[in-house]
Structure 1
């Protein structure tokens, strides 16, 4: 993985170098910068070495004929097989890195006038890139179709464009004012959905977006995932098991040590079991596992993680969840620096602490991201499937239950009856909007072309909007903050194709994830898959009190600062605060946490600092770098590929 930065102006090279310093945490192993002789473009890369540690793989890469210059962040599944196939057909691929493969395939397509989106649709994995075509003076910017790797851009000056892997780095080139108009979307999603970012002049590429800049104009198209699943029989379970195993094997194909998260859940358990099996087949010991431990036994999945680790013969590292107010706030601030934008999922604090701990052992870690969205793991999917039956109940009875009676129902049931009052569109909004306070004016950003019935639309919404904007973004920022690359095998194209070929109602049988559970059941210890899901959720109500008082002192001051000029009476403010911190209203607690993060973001140093100091973040990585950092600048000094 890497950090990318670049621009098309002729006078912004100091800004590019400042941006590279701001991205040092993403690439502690090498730095490269290439300047176009005509002054048309500058490309910079900070590299985390995961494949091919040789100097020939350092970036930016230049094609053998000198036409193309590539800055690449990511990995391509099965890259060694694909490189071997190209070489067998007489094509040149000058190194064994993912980037060299990417340059060869994309360059070949552009040389013959092909559509680069079609050339890239067959790549499974995760990536963002910038490619400069010196013959046509075109700059191509792209992001993988799932949205695993980020890329931000800004148009500035007289038709120029700048880009970077993170907002803080991009602001070294293009200062931009905060865009407070994003608050309705932020409060509804707990993040700012693409293409917005929280800054007026900065945008993020949408998942799968491919942009072309030429002569001051930008054009956009989409990279679609190529159809790849061809059923060979009626045993979908066996096909899924094999697809996951192959995706895990591809993710483990690296020239550095690999670990795996082991939360105690189904998704991470599936990855850990497959990784252990692959390692043994290769004559290696299973990769180390990592789990976060909570002091509250009701939140702690360490016992289940220990059970699975023992079953798999895996070494398990236990990471203590942050608990002191000072460390919670420190991790929150670090997370906001990585995002550059408001990010209201409180799990970012846990992921920051986890990333710091995991990176001390391995530079690559497998994770189970995407399992809930692909295989029907969220309760709201089951609610969507049940809605049509609920609508057979007379309106007057549904209204009665959704009123006073809902106040004494369990949280999930109360959300169901309140959201299921009207049309399916109303249920969609109610069950997906994360803001429980109507006075905050939260508003979802929903694509207009979501397919199918309510359950289909909700799963598609999560795959297209929530997964890339929330979990995948969190894994990227919280891992790369410490030079740690998370890889997500469940989002391999073949795995996704099989999951999508099965109807949601099949996935939802038996409480959800029926297909995934069946695929991994032979590899799990007895009773592991039947245990109730705990989830990776911090004690938000407790954290509200701890961070609020740390920032502002007394509860009265906390309430005043938190609600600010919102249209709420004093009585309403106190009511919401006390309901949230008692721990009985988790939805309201989450809404107030998002509001607290918004206030912290408004105060944050990112509003004033153009080049945040990240030296303290990456010091622990320098000693274990594969090679020392070197700086390459000047025309044509990057290696050929």
Structure 2
């Protein structure tokens, strides 16, 4: 796993050098640059060595015939099988890397190569035969990929901070993205906070020549248009176990030690159990986090640590724990810097500490349980959706009254917050209601903090990539699978996977995600709904598949979040920062929000008349992001005091 950057157009080499330096944290082991003046192409690479640690893995890498060059971020898990094929077809190799496999696969298959890949990847291939660049991102979007078009040409990079080393990229805010960050706490692809910068969407590719994008296309989409399998339940359970086992085994390929996250939840415990079985007598090194802050329990956060310890003893793996307390709040600005996007969730701080701990123990690769809730169900909104038939038949007027009553509930505890949210969008129909389950605040309250520009953006934002994605699905796709499509296409990619990649790479660690192996994703999409969400039990079939390996209390745990006591922080530890960052002067100068509306929302939240904590946090993150990424000629972080927690292994 690495960092990449480059361009096609009229750019100078010093821009390429600055871009590469901006992502130096992504590749501490090696770096490289290549300029191809006759084609106006520049390629840059930072290397985190995982496979073939020798200098033969240096990038940019040229194939043995000298025709094509690549910069590549990620891993190809089936590269050995592909390499064998290519050798049999007469292609030459000078290394044992998966990078060189991509070069030869392109020479053989061209743009059809992507369908052969099992892995996580973002890469750019320069073809000297026509001077073009091919940019490709993996199907689930595990690896980030950004690009920008300017009058001088097209630039691309693993992170936005690298792109913004080029001064010709306009720093104009994308108001639609601001609305999305407030609604969802993340922004759906291809949008970013800047009108001039876009995400290359998961499963997409583009061809660039002479500084212009010639073609963009989708080569992979989540397979939710398939027919359900008609298997006996026991057969389906066996297939899930088989596919997940293969995915974990495939993702253990590495020339450096592999470890794992272990929260004690079903997903991470399943990955650890199957990884340890595959490793035999070698003990898997696992990593988790413990909270010293008593306010976490007051906010309804479960204590995961005892479950992680229970699983570690049961599976006989080593567990290393890092303990954190209220000092986590000191990492907020660092978190926003690493994420490149103003995601309003403290969970990345947890992941950052765990990755730093793993690296201290010599681990450069971690397996993650991310994705289980997104393909098998598991979030509370999935249960809420399957309960809708009990009330969705009611007339619109009655459902509107349910929404009104729900809005009267004061969110003084976790139960009341959930009850209020359950019927917040009862008045909506069909796909609009499915999309609304991802909202963190209702539009009526949100509009009270908007300035004039954002209020004008409201109607357009409702026709966002989220709604467009739902409209692209066949009408016969059932509601639960429509929601799961959104989970994997946006929430997983633009929220969870983005922050996991960014903070892990900031620590010099690669994170792999077996639960979203493309073969397993395809299988999960074809499973009947009752095998995924059975009544109030999410991930039912995954629980059954893991019965031979995990303790019963772990198998049947309720879903818990991977977060922090944000509501308590905003009213106590972060209170001075809230009042500073969202002061009347600060809000007025930025021009995004209405100062009076912001102050009213903060007071309502502090008096517990309305739960607006995450919206307030989102506005803070947006303002801090603007100070870092648009208020300076190049992105700037003034403080870099990382790592304030303590370990107890």
Deviation readout 1:86-109 (Å, 9 max, x if unpaired):
334443333221211111111212
Counterpart for residue 135 of structure 2: 141
Task: Between 492-501 and 171-180, report the one with greater CA deviation.
Answer: 171-180
Task: Between 216-225 and 493-502, report the one with greater CA deviation.
Answer: 216-225
TM-score (norm 1): 0.87
**Cα distance, 1:323 vs structure 2:** 1.4
Q: 1:558 to 1:308 in 2, by over 3 A?
A: farther
Counterpart for residue 632 of structure 1: none
TM-score (norm 2): 0.86
Deviation readout 1:172-227 (Å, 9 max, x if unpaired):
13443141412112212212222222123222201111110123431111222698
Within a 5 Å distance, the mapping from 1:502-541 to structure 2 comes to 502-510=527-535, 511-541=537-567
Counterpart for residue 219 of structure 2: 223
The separation in 1 between residues aligned to 2:406 and 2:638, in whole angstroms, is 52
Deviation readout 1:1-26 (Å, 9 max, x if unpaired):
11101122354211111111111100
Within a 5 Å distance, the mapping from 1:450-465 to structure 2 comes to 450-451=473-474, 452-465=477-490
Counterpart for residue 168 of structure 1: 161
Q: 1:35 to 1:618 in 2, by over 3 A?
A: farther
Equivalent pair of 1:279/1:287 in contact (CA under 8 Å): no
Counterpart for residue 336 of structure 1: 336
Is residue 2:173 matched to residue 1:179? yes
The separation in 1 between residues aligned to 2:75 and 2:205, in whole angstroms, is 18
Within a 5 Å distance, the mapping from 1:364-383 to structure 2 comes to 364-383=365-384
**Cα distance, 1:400 vs structure 2:** 4.3
Q: Which runs of 5+ in 1 are unaligned?
A: 111-115, 621-641
Q: 1:404 to 1:9 in 2, by over 3 A?
A: closer
Task: Between 443-452 and 133-142, report the one with greater CA deviation.
Answer: 443-452
Counterpart for residue 123 of structure 1: 117
The separation in 2 between residues aligned to 1:611 and 1:124, in whole angstroms, is 34
Within a 5 Å distance, the mapping from 1:150-549 to structure 2 comes to 150-158=144-152, 160-174=153-167, 175-181=169-175, 182-218=177-213, 219-224=215-220, 234=232, 235-280=235-280, 283-296=281-294, 297=297, 298-324=301-327, 327-329=328-330, 331-361=331-361, 362-393=363-394, 398-404=399-405, 407-408=408-409, 410-436=416-442, 437-439=445-447, 440=450, 443=461, 445=464, 446=466, 447=469, 448-451=471-474, 452-510=477-535, 511-546=537-572, 548-549=574-575
Q: Which runs of 5+ in 2 are unaligned?
A: 410-414, 645-649
Task: Between 166-175 and 512-521, report the one with greater CA deviation.
Answer: 166-175
**Cα distance, 1:320 vs structure 2:** 2.0
**Cα distance, 1:143 vs structure 2:** 0.5
The separation in 1 between residues aligned to 2:579 and 2:59, in whole angstroms, is 49
The separation in 2 between residues aligned to 1:255 and 1:232, in whole angstroms, is 41
Equivalent pair of 1:263/1:292 in contact (CA under 8 Å): no
The separation in 1 between residues aligned to 2:594 and 2:640, in whole angstroms, is 41
Q: 1:470 to 1:30 in 2, by over 3 A?
A: same
The separation in 1 between residues aligned to 2:14 and 2:25, in whole angstroms, is 19
The separation in 2 between residues aligned to 1:386 and 1:595, in whole angstroms, is 33
Q: 1:226 to 1:404 in 2, by over 3 A?
A: closer
Q: 1:90 to 1:303 in 2, by over 3 A?
A: same
Deviation readout 1:509-541 (Å, 9 max, x if unpaired):
141101111111210013211222222121111
Q: 1:300 to 1:558 in 2, by over 3 A?
A: farther
Task: Flag the structure with more relative contact order, 1 or 2, with Cα contacts below 8 A and sequence separation at least 6.
Answer: 1
Within a 5 Å distance, the mapping from 1:599-638 to structure 2 comes to 599-604=623-628, 607-610=631-634, 612=636
Equivalent pair of 2:154/2:212 in contact (CA under 8 Å): no
Is residue 2:65 matched to residue 1:72? no
Q: 1:602 to 1:585 in 2, by over 3 A?
A: same
The separation in 1 between residues aligned to 2:529 and 2:115, in whole angstroms, is 25
The separation in 2 between residues aligned to 1:202 and 1:593, in whole angstroms, is 24
Question: Could you say what the CA RMSD is over the residues aligned between the two structures, in angstroms?
Answer: 3.0
The separation in 2 between residues aligned to 1:68 and 1:74, in whole angstroms, is 19
Q: 1:592 to 1:224 in 2, by over 3 A?
A: same
Task: Between 532-541 and 596-605, report the one with greater CA deviation.
Answer: 596-605
Equivalent pair of 2:287/2:357 in contact (CA under 8 Å): no
Counterpart for residue 21 of structure 1: 21
The separation in 1 between residues aligned to 2:552 and 2:218, in whole angstroms, is 45
**Cα distance, 1:125 vs structure 2:** 1.3
SS of the residue corresponding to residue 155 of structure 2 reads strand
Q: 1:426 to 1:134 in 2, by over 3 A?
A: closer
The separation in 1 between residues aligned to 2:3 and 2:398, in whole angstroms, is 56
Task: Between 376-385 and 486-495, report the one with greater CA deviation.
Answer: 376-385
**Cα distance, 1:613 vs structure 2:** 7.3
Task: Between 438-447 and 492-501, report the one with greater CA deviation.
Answer: 438-447
SS of the residue corresponding to residue 206 of structure 2 reads strand
The separation in 2 between residues aligned to 1:84 and 1:476, in whole angstroms, is 30
**Cα distance, 1:385 vs structure 2:** 2.2
